[in-house]
Amino acid sequence: MAADGNKRKRPNILVTGTPGTGKTTTSSALAEATNLRHINIGDLVKEKNLHDGWDDDLQCHVINEDLVCDELEDVMEEGGNIVDYHGCDFFPERWFDLVVVLQTDNTVLYDRLSKRGYEGAKLSNNIECEIFQVLLEEAKESYSEDIVKALKSNNIDDITRNVSSLTDWIRSWPPTS
């Protein structure tokens, strides 16, 4: 559990993984099932202009991690948040009680990303990240391994099962140990 977890009445969860693994779908469904607040970092960066410009090669904003953390500090202290982002190493460790890393088989992920219009370096970089489990390793290096949970996210049945198990975890929070 996060160091400040005992001050919060509701947990904070980070849902991370390579783009296309179902973070937003899972986070939205989980927020609806639990009445926790869903914070999509990509949307927040665009809405609040928390970036340093546009990366033409990767076709995405270059987020300003300090601005994102400053924007989220108070709401994270309150608890009750599901943060949805494809990176995890810049968030303060104290913010999260659970870090969920969604993983998808490469063939499924390739099809999802291709349908989104990913191509070239953007497509190959993301597939390589999944093959080498970059996000899982990043999560394990950034947070206590006992709060990092890898979940398969290949299809709607996986997502439904994940939402159900995470909902059970939230309902039993905080742990009694």
What is the per-residue pLDDT across 62-95, written as a single tens digit (0 to 9) for each?
A: 999 999 999 999 999 999 999 999 999 999 999 9
What is the per-residue pLDDT across 107-157, written as a single tens digit (0 to 9) for each?
A: 999 999 999 999 998 999 999 999 999 999 999 999 999 999 999 999 999
- Token pair 């394990």 is found at 140
Q: Domain ranges for the chain, please list them.
A: 12-166
**Is the pLDDT assigned to residue 4 strictly greater than 50?**
no
The class level of CATH for 12-166 reads alpha beta
Residue 24 assigned ligand-binding role = yes
Residue 42 assigned ligand-binding role = no
Q: Which pTM was predicted?
A: 0.94
Residue 87 assigned ligand-binding role = no
Neighbouring C-beta atoms of residue 44, cutoff 10 Å: 18
Instruction: Single out the residue of 10, 22, 2 nearest to residue 151, CA to CA.
Output: 22
Residue 25 assigned ligand-binding role = yes
Q: Do 33 and 167 meet the contact criterion of CB atoms below 8 Å apart? A: yes
Pairing relationship of beta strands 51-55 and 12-16 according to DSSP bridges: unpaired
